[in-house]
Amino acid sequence: MIVDVNAYLGHFAFRRLRHNTAASLLALMDSKKIDKAVVSSAAAITYRNAQAGNEEVAAETSGHRDRLIPFAVINPFYAGWQDDLKICHEEFGMAGLRLYPKWHNYNLSSPCCRELVTAATERGMVVSIPIRVEDNRERSWLLNIPDVPLEEIVELVKAHPKSRFILLNGLGYTGSPLGRKDNGLPSNYAVELSRLSAVLANEIGQLITNLGADRIMFGTGMPFNYPDPALVKLEVLDASDPDKDKIRSQNAASWLRL
Amino acid sequence: MTIRQSSAESQTRLSRRTLLKGSAVALAMGAAAMPSARGAAVERPAPGTPSGTPPKGRVIDCHAHLSHRSRPTWEADDRKLIEAADKLGIDQLCCSTLTPRQPATADGFRECNEWTADAMRRFPGRVLGYCYVNPGYGREALEEIRRYVGERGFIGIKLYNEYTCTEPVVFPVVELAIDLGVPILHHAGHSHYFVEEQPRLTDGGHLAELARRYPEAMLICAHISGGGDWEWTIKALRHASNVMLDTSGSVTDDGTVDMAAAVVGVDRLVFGCDSSMTAGVGKIRGADLSAQDKEKILGGNMMRLLRRRKA
């Protein structure tokens, strides 16, 4: 089984996405033998009211919950986020969140963000954080959104040891405490591999050594990204079959209770 | 044979036993015999194409780099590049060695090219050399190209960001490339802001302009997935029929290769990684193109360019 913890539905403001409906994404997943995918709204990244995107994803995934696992995009700086979180969890059955602090103009250290993480944790929801949405060099002339600094993630995971975080679309963890062995941080975060190298510098291999294969999860970033590069990483990764199985699906299945 | 080569070849055999699907034996560009690496790049046919018929052609990474020897790990890094190519089914890598900082001095690019030549000896048949020069050095740059392309078997010229390709200082290099019948791989990118660290960065529009000035030149626009606005780059190059688009770069945006194929045609696309190995291979595998079209991109088109070399 392959579980992708990094997938999306809907439109993105700055580029046309293919495979961005439930039907087309599932067809893509079938062609790539990806069994399940965690999806959130791509539109909610730029909607002022992110909850509208959550409603779209809830409707789109209805009838496909055996394969599409919806996550909510919550902006804790926007009115009514507590109500949105409750609806997403209790009515939409969303098992986790995605946070976009730079796109939504807050910091991970902001009290409102810490309040959101605490509330999500109390609900047993996983908190995932895309380090970036797209490469900054291809950005629109309208905006300049930096990557989420790994230093902010370090402080967040320290401040919320009982929370569970999945870090998406990141790299360079081995140059940060997040990817170092015996880093003194709680083991409450996992790293998704779509931007990590599996050859040359082989950051995935380094992270397996430093953190353990339990802390790496498979993800593609589809439909923003071709899913194939991440699949190729799994194929060529120099790791044991049990470790690959953990990365391929078991870690995500455990965290998401699949 | 050195211990280093022996180790690398042992690794090659190991990975090929594990990953190879095909059995072709190809000759390296030039003369040396070279085992074929049929691995991940060609392992899976595209959806809708017949299964079990992997492309037969050679897989050539048109954009690769060797490590500068100021890095203490350069030797291991070069070996890892070959090992990664083995794992991914890449038969040959068109490599340049760049100076750590630009603009490169004449001494700087000279030692880089000598190291590239040494890598061609260390990895016979696997490494094909680009001659890297800074066109600002005029006579020295042209002499370097004549020496390494004309006499030592390098397959093309690598230009980086010292000058925008439309600046007159670049023209003698282009004219020499035409005389020799070899391609120029030109670093390029287009962002919607001024890239301060690369004030003379070439983009697809510049390359299209250069291509109009020199329609007989063989130009390769580097890494359309190298981080800039690839949709802009592809559209800017639509009508520049003598500019090839190199698919390399770390960005794996869905649709990149598909759009490039639709706008400029598969005959103008050349596969590359620029050190982003799984990204490079994965994008081609993921593109919704026929196996025949992928075969062209993976190596057929680059082979066609390389055959235009003049004696």
Distance from CA of B250 to the nearest CA of A (A): 8
Cα→Cα distances B191→A117, B66, B115, B199, B229, Å: 35, 26, 32, 12, 6
Confidence at residue B227, expressed as pLDDT on a 0 to 100 scale: 81
Name the minimum distance, in Å, from the CA of A7 to any CA of chain B: 12
Chain B: closest CA distance from residue A6 (Å): 14
pTM of the model: 0.91
A199 vs B87, B227, B254: nearest CB = B87
pLDDT at res. B311: 75
Report, as ranges of residue numbers, the positions in chain A whose pLDDT lies below 50.
none
- Cβ contacts (< 8 Å) between A233 and chain B: which residues? 278, 282
Strands A3-9, B92-96: pairing kind: unpaired
Residue A257 gets the label, from left (phi > 0), alpha (psi -120 to 50) or beta, of: left
What is the nearest CA distance from B87 to chain A, expressed in angstroms?
Answer: 6
Instruction: Check residue B3 and give its pLDDT.
Output: 32
ipTM above 0.95, yes or no: yes
All structural domains of chain B with their residue ranges: 3-306
Chain B CA closest to residue A14: B229
In this predicted model, what pLDDT tens digit does every residue of B145-192 receive, in sequence order? 999 999 999 999 999 999 999 999 999 999 999 999 999 999 999 999
Query: What superfamily would CATH give domain A3-256?
Result: Metal-dependent hydrolases (3.20.20.140)
Q: Name the residue among B47, B81, B229 with its Cβ closest to that of A138.
A: B229
Instruction: Give the integer Cα–Cα distance in Å for B11 and B261.
Output: 35
What's CA A241's distance to the chain center, in Å? Answer: 24
Q: How confident is the model at residue B14 (pLDDT cuts 50, 70, 90)?
A: very low
pLDDT at B21 over 90: no
Beta bridge partners of A12: A15
- CB contact (8 A) between residue B191 and residue A144: no
With b for 16 or more beta-carbon neighbours within 10 A and e for fewer, the B84-116 pattern comes to bbbbbbbbbbbbbbbbeebbbebebbbbbbebb
Chain B residue closest in CA terms to A227: B286
CATH code of the domain made up of B3-306: 3.20.20.140
Give the closest residue to A224 by CA, choosing from A191, A249, A194.
Answer: A194
User: Are the beta carbons of A138 and B227 separated by less than 8 Å?
Assistant: yes
pLDDT at A18 (0 to 100): 97
Would you call B149 exposed, middle or buried from its count of C-beta atoms within 10 A (0-12, 13-18, 19+)? buried
Distance CA B56, CA B29 (A): 16
Model pLDDT for residues A15-62, shown as the tens digit of each residue: 999 999 999 999 999 999 999 999 999 999 999 999 999 999 999 999
Kindly determine whether residue A200 and residue B275, on different chains, have CB atoms separated by under 8 Å: yes
Domain ranges of chain A: 3-256
Strands B156-159 and A3-9: unpaired
Report, as an integer, the average pLDDT of B233-243: 98
**Does residue B285 sit at the A interface (CB-CB below 8 Å)?**
yes
Using a CB-CB cut-off of 8 Å, the residues of chain B touching A193 are none
Angle, in degrees to the nearest 10, between helices B74-88 and A228-236 = 110
Residue B9 has pLDDT above 50, yes or no: no
pLDDT of the residue at B39: 60
φ/ψ of B231, rounded to 5, equals -65, -40
The DSSP output letter for B253 is B
Smallest Cβ distance to A200: which of B40, B80, B193?
B80
Rounded Cα–Cα distance for residues A60 and A71 (Å): 12
| ∠ Cα A76 A77 A82 (to 5°) | 40
Q: Which residues have a Cβ under 8 Å from the Cβ of A86 and sit 6 or more positions away?
A: none
pLDDT at B42: 55
CB contact under 8 A, A138 and B278: no
Note whether A226 contacts B282, CB cutoff 8 Å: yes
